[in-house]
Structure 1
Amino acid sequence: MNPLIKVDHLYLHFENQQNKNTLSNVSFQLEHNESMLILGPSGCGKSTLTFCLNGLYPRELDGEMGGDIFINGRKTTNYRPGEISQSVGVVFQDPETQFCMLTVEDEVAFGLENICVPHEVMDEKVDEALRLVNMLSYKRSTITSLSGGQKQKLALACILALEPSLLILDEPTANLDPIASKDLISTIHALKNKTNCALIIIEHQLDGWVELADRSLLLNRDGEVFYDGSLRHAVDSMLPQIEEQGVWLPKVTQYVLNQKGFPNQFIPLTIQEFLDRPYHLDSSGWETVKNVRQTNDIFIDASTISWSNRHRDILRDVSLQIYKGEFIAIIGANGSGKTSLSRILAGIQKPTTGTIHVRGKALKSWKESHLRAEVGYVFQNPEHQFITNTVFDEVAFSLRLKEYPQKDISEKVEGILETCRLSQHKDDHPYSLSQGQKRRLSVATMMIDNQNMLLLDEPTFGQDAQSNLELMKLLEDRHSQGTTMVVITHDMEIVHHYATRVVVLNEGRVVADCSPLELWEKSISLLQQWQLDLPVFVQLKNSEKEAYYVSTSS
């Protein structure tokens, strides 16, 4: 029997990158019903490879592609346009790029109509697909009313309805809250056991996926395969190369590798593996109490903020004071109102009711240019803020508006591009970057202006391990210099290691406002009700305590 997928010496480069291949000499096979993780640093060509597998490239490619790709023994170039989608289903990194209808129901039905599914069974198939991703209650909703995480679930439902032979998930949990991520992974596990569908997962956050994958394909920064085999063998035999390339490892693996004196003959890839061979974790450096508020200077005072959209209450009576120099994490379930609150605090959208003061002055009284000099905002979707044709010009734009000397502009822009690992892309169009690179560019455009406050909506989305560390160090350095940071995130590790204060939203209301350590002390049932989970390190420390109590009581 032919393998489901065969890739033979694939290379690809884009028209605007003639001197560098995005993918180089990539070869691998995927068998029927096999599961594979594709891992690599941001910008190494993982998503580009997806476009090759589903036939979008070379048909829509502005560049050159060579080598061969076979699906069920047939070259992808011999398929008719759209034909491959019946065998290969892709949930893209940005789900909005694959929607074409107005409502949830119509979007799922669209693909079924294209393959001529009879109308008498279509409703049942639509309902079943939405049920699998816990979106059935949104069946009549408009797509524009959904949160980012809900859109990700809808994109998955659209693919599942078609019952493909291969399902490709491109960072499927990037926009999901912790509990929704677990639910999605559990759903994929169940689907894998119930169907003969092969699976390719492109992910940076590996927790939950390791047990599902039969193999791992690792790409380096030059778009070359440098490993093909089990993740266990890769960690045991080539850890230095993995770390040098910035490939994420499971969080429990990261913590264990940071331990001094931890036995290196066995490195756990899952929490269960750690529990099966418990070792003491040194908590120094991980549980230090961060500097709490050291000033009574209120930077933003939001009072009784409410906001409704299409007759739906998004925010309800939110009051919040943000003090100068804080590092605040705003967390909560998908659709809880985090992005809406941040946009209102930044003056990008107006509340339905309530008042906001920035540095003691009513927000509505601020001149727009003066407000932007005080408050910077990084959008959840980076493309929403790009306005120029090159990466360099994007970062330089605000400096040119302020009529900085060209020498100063060049020095500042080159410096921030180097820090954000974007120097080699300075002449590229922002839209040609990978999602992770776009995110770093969006952060760079705000960091260059030295505002007194930065609001960042999911700043680490799509980042590899090295980029994530460098980006958070950049934010931490700015915070240490007095910049007030407000970060929206689903990453509990960021909350634990960087935030001085955490604000939890649930159904549009503030339900907790405390330090991270105080939040982790709340009951698991309450955290789960808010769609939150404990950071992995806290889970490991709690397991140590439980093991201690069991041993001393026996």
Structure 2
Amino acid sequence: MSAPRIEVRDLTIRHFGRKRRCLERVSLTIAPGERVLIAGPSGAGKSTLALCLNGLVPHSVDVHWVSGSVEISGEATSTLPPGDLTRRIGVLFQDPDSQVVLSKIDEDIAFGLENRGIPPVDMPGLIARARFAVGLARTSDREGEDQVRVPEQVNRLSGGARQRLTLAGLLAGNPEVLILDEPVANLDPVGAATVWSTVASLLADGDETARNARQTGSQAFDGSSSEACDIGEPRHPTRVARSLIVIEHTADDVLPMLDRVIVLDQEGQVALTGTPDEVFIGNREVVRSLGIRMPVWASVAHLSGSSHLPRSHDEAAITFGEWAARRSHLPASPGGQPEPHIRNRTDGAPLIRPRIALSGVSFRHTGSGRDSVSGVSLTCAPGELIAIVGANGAGKSTLGLILAGVVQPTAGTVLLDGTPLEQVPGIDQRRRLRYVFQYPEHQFVGQTVRSDLEAAMRVEQLDAHAVSERVDDALRRAELEGLARANPFTLSHGQKRRLSVAGALLTNPDILVLDEPTFGQDDHHTAQLMATVTRRVADGCTAIVITHDLDLVACHATRVIGMRDGEIIFDGTP
């Protein structure tokens, strides 16, 4: 057996200002070429573990390293220079813009190569092949193939294309380990599909390269060679033994790629490790008890009584077909039609007076050549839960900001209960209109979780005792009471989201706009959040959810607004 590519021994980590440890005696190994999913509930320490694996902890992120060690190929990450670690371990984070540095594709990929000390003469070949690998090649590099022209300006790329650009930058450096930390969390379904398709293609090409190398006795391409400059025959910048680590709340898209699943529990300990079948089928109840979202194919296997986890639509169809064939020989089940999985919805009573109304509203960012929102007219009534859907860049978040009074339109009118929004006093706007940003960090103002919630209560002008009671209740509902003294910026992605939503709900707003509220949430907290929002809607709140989560739309929305290029192209029931 080959030596492990990554070995973690008894790793215990605690963030400063916290009593609770975020990782507790974690031990695991990842072999060269192994493909692993790290799953767990929100706050289980998954992203912290990723930061330890690539050396950002302890070199850049300040935490209390209580005990344990992390090694890559037998060398401790705590003692390796950061430059060596970035060459050997590449990480793709959630936000497509957080790792893009320069304005043009080639320049952005070259930036990473320059920092790795790659000679300039070697860069053109490495850049070309990295672009080819992620589907961003120039037309001239793929002669004879049909291809959509790729914009060279980064700001003209979609969210999915920007994630593939970051992936190209990582691949150009040919890392030994590739870590994907919820890389599609902020992308629309099309953008997410392009990223996962690219990753699957990279892995498939790597497998083929490995087979060819074994058959011919040749060495797989290692991107450090000057031979990489020859782009006459594009080859894949993939090392045979590259390991893949994926952190995801939704495992469906990555199942076909996986060798193993490692599950962390709420205490930051390893709860399960095994093949996808062993974890999602053999330990189904344990996974469910941790609030982890079960893959759809695992549910298919469970319902059909299969012990095998399908890895594709075709396998799922076969599993379901075998179950249906068995059922055809059994007596019909009593009770008629099966109960639908999705709960029934009501479309609400006829609307008499809208809570908020937009007429001919447009908005253009300074310096932009087109409107982000163009000629939008709509009304939103009390008791509606409206989902706004569309591709990245469709104008969803901008429309949400207008509905919440955060930005003023450059054209058109906005009425709140029949009054022009600009005539509504500012303190009333802040109390009645609340917006939860896609990135929660953008609205944190307190040094602690408690002080951040207290700041949200200032518009209520209540005495200290009443504020304390309301904040205590918000902390309890958000399951953040044990983190009241923690710095908000040190929370997990899911905890940050719950804090931002809790702050918005404190003032009992008439209109609540939530931008990607389920991002970073496990099943338990997603259900809890939507139950809270649904209760507020039943009490007359108008909730507007900007989302790529189509399950949320199907299960909770009373109305769907579809957007494209700043315009509304659909407005109706789900």
- CA distance, structure 1, for counterparts of residue 349 and residue 112 of structure 2: 52
- CA distance, structure 1, for counterparts of residue 345 and residue 64 of structure 2: 52
Matched, 1:189 2:200: yes
Q: Of 196, 200, 207, which aligns to 2:252? A: 207
- Alpha-carbon contact 2:516-2:545 (below 8 Å) kept: yes
Instruction: Give the match for residue 111 of structure 2.
Output: 110
Instruction: Give the match for residue 231 of structure 2.
Output: none
- Alpha-carbon contact 2:373-2:567 (below 8 Å) kept: yes
- CA distance, structure 1, for counterparts of residue 100 and residue 436 of structure 2: 24
Matched, 1:375 2:433: yes
Instruction: Give the match for residue 277 of structure 1.
Output: 319
Moved more, 427-436 or 300-309: 300-309
Structure 1 segments unaligned to the other structure (5+ residues):
517-554
> Measured at CA, do residues 151 and 435 of structure 1 come closer, stay the same or move farther in structure 2, by a change above 3 Å?
farther
Instruction: Give the match for residue 360 of structure 2.
Output: 304
Deviation, structure 1 residue 98: 3.7
Structure 2 SS opposite 1:83: helix
Instruction: Give the match for residue 227 of structure 2.
Output: none
Counterpart amino acid of residue 530 in structure 2: M
Instruction: Give the match for residue 34 of structure 1.
Output: 34
Matched, 1:250 2:292: no
Instruction: Give the match for residue 180 of structure 2.
Output: 169
Instruction: Give the match for residue 87 of structure 1.
Output: 88
Matched, 1:499 2:499: no
Counterpart amino acid of residue 332 in structure 1: G
Instruction: Give the match for residue 51 of structure 1.
Output: 51
Deviation, structure 1 residue 332: 0.6
Structure 1 SS opposite 2:78: helix
Instruction: Give the match for residue 219 of structure 2.
Output: none
- Alpha-carbon contact 1:149-1:176 (below 8 Å) kept: yes
- Alpha-carbon contact 1:25-1:224 (below 8 Å) kept: yes
Deviation, structure 1 residue 392: 1.3
> Measured at CA, do residues 153 and 447 of structure 1 come closer, stay the same or move farther in structure 2, by a change above 3 Å?
farther
Deviation, structure 1 residue 243: 1.4
Moved more, 318-327 or 279-288: 279-288
- Alpha-carbon contact 1:130-1:139 (below 8 Å) kept: no
> Measured at CA, do residues 272 and 418 of structure 1 come closer, stay the same or move farther in structure 2, by a change above 3 Å?
farther
* Deviation by residue 1:273-317 (Cα, 9 ceiling, x = unmatched): 432122579452516243335422212221222223322432222
* Deviation by residue 1:471-493 (Cα, 9 ceiling, x = unmatched): 11111111111111100000100
Structure 2 SS opposite 1:193: helix
State the Cα RMSD in Å. Answer: 2.4
Deviation, structure 1 residue 464: 1.0
* Deviation by residue 1:229-265 (Cα, 9 ceiling, x = unmatched): 11211223322221121122113435776x6xx6475
Deviation, structure 1 residue 100: 4.3
TM-score (norm 2): 0.83
* Deviation by residue 1:438-482 (Cα, 9 ceiling, x = unmatched): 001000001111011100000111001111111111111111111
Matched, 1:140 2:153: yes
> Measured at CA, do residues 392 and 49 of structure 1 come closer, stay the same or move farther in structure 2, by a change above 3 Å?
same
Deviation, structure 1 residue 385: 0.5
- Alpha-carbon contact 2:384-2:542 (below 8 Å) kept: yes
Structure 1 SS opposite 2:83: coil
* Deviation by residue 1:487-534 (Cα, 9 ceiling, x = unmatched): 000010000000011111112221111111xxxxxxxxxxxxxxxxxx
Structure 1 SS opposite 2:344: coil
Instruction: Give the match for residue 320 of structure 1.
Output: 378
Moved more, 205-214 or 126-135: 126-135
- CA distance, structure 2, for counterparts of residue 100 and residue 148 of structure 1: 15
Matched, 1:4 2:5: yes
- Alpha-carbon contact 2:13-2:21 (below 8 Å) kept: yes
- Alpha-carbon contact 2:127-2:172 (below 8 Å) kept: yes
- CA distance, structure 1, for counterparts of residue 453 and residue 152 of structure 2: 41
Deviation, structure 1 residue 150: 5.5
Moved more, 81-90 or 274-283: 274-283
- Alpha-carbon contact 1:293-1:326 (below 8 Å) kept: no
Structure 2 SS opposite 1:313: coil
Matched, 1:437 2:495: yes
Counterpart amino acid of residue 391 in structure 1: V
Structure 2 SS opposite 1:29: strand
Moved more, 43-52 or 389-398: 389-398
- Alpha-carbon contact 1:293-1:325 (below 8 Å) kept: no
- Alpha-carbon contact 2:351-2:381 (below 8 Å) kept: yes
**What is the aligned residue count?**
510
Structure 1 or 2, whichever has the larger Rg, is 2
Counterpart amino acid of residue 275 in structure 1: A
Q: Of 387, 394, 406, which aligns to 1:336? A: 394
> Measured at CA, do residues 510 and 263 of structure 1 come closer, stay the same or move farther in structure 2, by a change above 3 Å?
same
Deviation, structure 1 residue 393: 1.6
- Alpha-carbon contact 2:51-2:57 (below 8 Å) kept: yes
Structure 2 SS opposite 1:304: strand
Counterpart amino acid of residue 234 in structure 1: V
Instruction: Give the match for residue 79 of structure 2.
Output: 78
> Measured at CA, do residues 408 and 25 of structure 1 come closer, stay the same or move farther in structure 2, by a change above 3 Å?
same
- CA distance, structure 2, for counterparts of residue 354 and residue 103 of structure 1: 35
Matched, 1:458 2:516: yes
Deviation, structure 1 residue 104: 4.9
> Measured at CA, do residues 141 and 70 of structure 1 come closer, stay the same or move farther in structure 2, by a change above 3 Å?
closer
- CA distance, structure 2, for counterparts of residue 290 and residue 139 of structure 1: 47
> Measured at CA, do residues 334 and 435 of structure 1 come closer, stay the same or move farther in structure 2, by a change above 3 Å?
same
Counterpart amino acid of residue 439 in structure 2: N
Structure 2 SS opposite 1:78: coil
> Measured at CA, do residues 248 and 305 of structure 1 come closer, stay the same or move farther in structure 2, by a change above 3 Å?
same
* Deviation by residue 1:3-49 (Cα, 9 ceiling, x = unmatched): 211111211112212x3221111111111111000001111111111
Structure 2 segments unaligned to the other structure (5+ residues):
138-149, 206-237, 325-336
TM-score (norm 1): 0.86
Moved more, 365-374 or 47-56: 365-374
- Alpha-carbon contact 1:390-1:429 (below 8 Å) kept: yes
- Alpha-carbon contact 2:94-2:184 (below 8 Å) kept: no
* Deviation by residue 1:67-100 (Cα, 9 ceiling, x = unmatched): 1222112221331122111110001234544444
Structure 1 SS opposite 2:48: helix
Counterpart amino acid of residue 84 in structure 2: E
Identical-residue share of aligned pairs (%): 35
